[in-house]
Amino acid sequence: MKISNSYLDTLASSHDKILVFDCEFWHVFGSSGFIPIDVTRNEFFMPREVGGFILQKTKDGQWSYKKEFFVTLHPPKGKDVSFVSSEYSSVTSKTADLMDAYQGVLSKPWASSFLNTLPEEQHGLLLEDIKLYLNDPNIKQAHKPPSWLKTFINEYKDSLIVVKGDKDIDALKNACKVYDIPYSPPKNVIDIAEWNITSRRKCGTARLDGTYKCVKPLLASETKELLKILPIGEAHDPLSDAAMTLIVALYIIQREE
């Protein structure tokens, strides 16, 4: 599918390949040697669900929309990972209901619930939640082995990437370290989180879904055409979040011109 969009041209600058992606994370206990979530928490992120797409500039100056992807990855072996919340998962509604029931009786917030932090009598809840998640049909059918990250890095290093925040990049670096995969940086990074202060002032929120809903009516007609193509759905679906990230990035370019 071919796309013409002047704001996309400006966003890309001299680059002819754009990779837009978003992750949901495994929260992993024990941050020593890794990039931590923040300095107050002994935890780090690794990719659990990765969704996105590639835009490639063609010889006629248009953009080709291709290689849409959604991938799920198992937790790293031998690591203590936290409870998985259905809110940040692409599971079926049946699995989500079961995960929610377990989450409702946890003694700690889900993101702080590890084998290392939960009382022993709740270890079974954590392990059953992770098992439910991994065996959900939506997750199983999208599963890839860690070697998929090598393929992703090959695309990543040749691209301008568009993300919201640096946590997706940190998670990718951590995964490369865990699996002994060479990490190569992208050609350039467009991070829409740099617009958070303006978004709070303009939209009343810096959350991705809130910002997207705020700017959607203000989009130029050529960008509105992209809404017919991009996989925009619910928030916290990585593929949808990637699409909303691109739209917000294009609006920022539009606003600055």
- The length of the chain, given as a count of residues: 257
10 is a domain residue: yes
123 is a domain residue: no
117 is a domain residue: no
| Residue 49 burial class via C-beta count within 10 angstroms: exposed 0-12, middle 13-18, buried 19 and up | buried
Mean pLDDT score across all residues of the chain: 96
240 is a domain residue: yes
Number of domains in the chain: 1
Cβ within 8 Å of residue 147, ≥6 positions away: none
Quote the pTM value: 0.95
Q: What is the pLDDT of residue 137?
A: 98
222 is a domain residue: yes
Q: 2 forms bridges with which residues in the sheet? A: 64
Q: How far apart are alpha carbons 25 and 95 in whole angstroms?
A: 18
239 is a domain residue: yes
DSSP-based three-state secondary structure for 18: strand
Dump pLDDT digits (tens) for 55-94. 999 999 999 998 799 999 999 999 999 999 999 999 999 9
127 is a domain residue: no
Q: What is the pLDDT along the chain (257 residues), one digit of tens a residue?
A: 789 999 999 999 999 999 999 999 999 999 999 999 999 999 999 999 999 999 999 999 999 998 799 999 999 999 999 999 999 999 999 999 999 999 999 999 999 999 999 999 999 999 999 999 999 999 999 999 999 999 999 999 999 999 999 999 999 999 999 999 999 999 999 999 999 999 999 999 999 999 999 999 999 999 999 999 999 988 889 999 999 999 999 999 999 86
Residue span of the structural domain in which 149 resides: 2-23+52-69+145-256
155 is a domain residue: yes
